[in-house]
């Protein structure tokens, strides 16, 4: 494993001799070591892995410019690593995001033609609505309000990361979307269904899995450790 430090994020590489490479974007508040088992299982199944990890301060102490810079820089970094692995023989590339990391996985896939499969393990509906209603990110809302950024202004300025606005950009990709029916406090299911609706209306190549029991944290972990399903999806199997 090789670690690279960045101001806005850290990068951890887990290469093996393989033509397959997965980019993993972690959930807010988790750390890279929590994904070691997931990475190990992906390695065992023949995938090299690049994992992106970031501080909660990036989310909770935001400005509109800081968020946009974060998405831009992490995508540029990932694309440069993809190009490096291409030169080493990799030909198949995948994007996997967990919770907040789904926004980055989604954005990276849309900006990178080589990414042909993307997994969104519990994603958002409207991000601005989440920021202004979810207690977990109350500090982000308060910081935006200090900058005179209300919910409407935020929504208008973050369309690049907003899942319901991103559907068209995922055309010609294969998408596996997980939502949790009893996710009420983190990524509210009633809001997240708007993303499902927009993906269906865009006629994406979509596989949808609805977790019918438990809430956000249990299902995020359960979906993550189901490496067999991840592998089957990446290999084009049902």
Interatomic CA distance for residues 140 and 63, integer angstroms: 9
Contact in structure between 134 and 203 (CB atoms under 8 Å): no
pTM comes to 0.95
* CA 186 distance to own-chain centroid: 15
Pairing of strands 2-5, 92-98: unpaired
Query: Looking at the predicted structure, is the pLDDT value of residue 75 above 90?
Result: yes
* Confidence category of residue 31, pLDDT binned at 50, 70, 90: confident
Instruction: Return the beta strands (E) in 115-173 as ranges.
Output: 115-121
Mean pLDDT across 162-185: 96
Q: Which residue has the higher pLDDT, 6 or 38?
A: 38
Residue pointed to by tokens 């990709």: 173
Domains of the chain: 2-234 (3.40.50.1820)
For residue range 32-58, list pLDDT tens digits in order.
889 999 999 999 999 999 999 998 888
DSSP string, 51-83: EEE--THHHHS--HHHHHHHHHHHHHHHHHHHH
Torsion of CA 96, 68, 113, 178, to 10 degrees: 30
């Amino acid at each position: 494993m090789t670690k690279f430090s960045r101001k806005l994020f850290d990068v951890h590489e887990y290469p093996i001799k393989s033509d397959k490479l997965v980019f993993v974007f972690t959930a807010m508040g988790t750390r890279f070591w929590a994904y070691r088992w997931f990475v190990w299982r992906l390695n065992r199944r023949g995938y090299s892995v690049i994992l992106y990890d970031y501080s909660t301060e990036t989310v909770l102490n935001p400005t509109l410019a800081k968020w946009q810079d974060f998405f831009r820089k992490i995508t540029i970094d990932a694309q440069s690593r993809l190009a490096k692995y291409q030169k080493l023989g990799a030909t198949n590339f995948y994007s996997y995001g967990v919770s907040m990391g789904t926004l980055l996985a989604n954005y990276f896939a849309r900006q990178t033609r080589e990414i042909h499969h993307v997994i969104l393990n519990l994603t958002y509906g409207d991000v601005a609505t989440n920021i202004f209603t979810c207690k977990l990110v109350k500090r982000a809302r308060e910081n935006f309000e200090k900058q005179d950024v209300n919910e409407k202004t935020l929504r208008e300025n973050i369309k690049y990361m907003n899942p319901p606005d991103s559907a068209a950009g995922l055309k010609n990709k294969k998408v596996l979307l997980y939502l949790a029916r009893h996710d009420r406090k983190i990524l509210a299911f009633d809001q997240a269904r708007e993303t499902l609706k927009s993906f269906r209306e865009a006629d994406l190549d979509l596989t949808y899995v609805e977790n019918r029991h438990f809430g956000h944290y249990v299902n995020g972990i359960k979906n993550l450790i189901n490496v067999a399903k991840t592998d089957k999806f990446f290999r084009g199997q049902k």
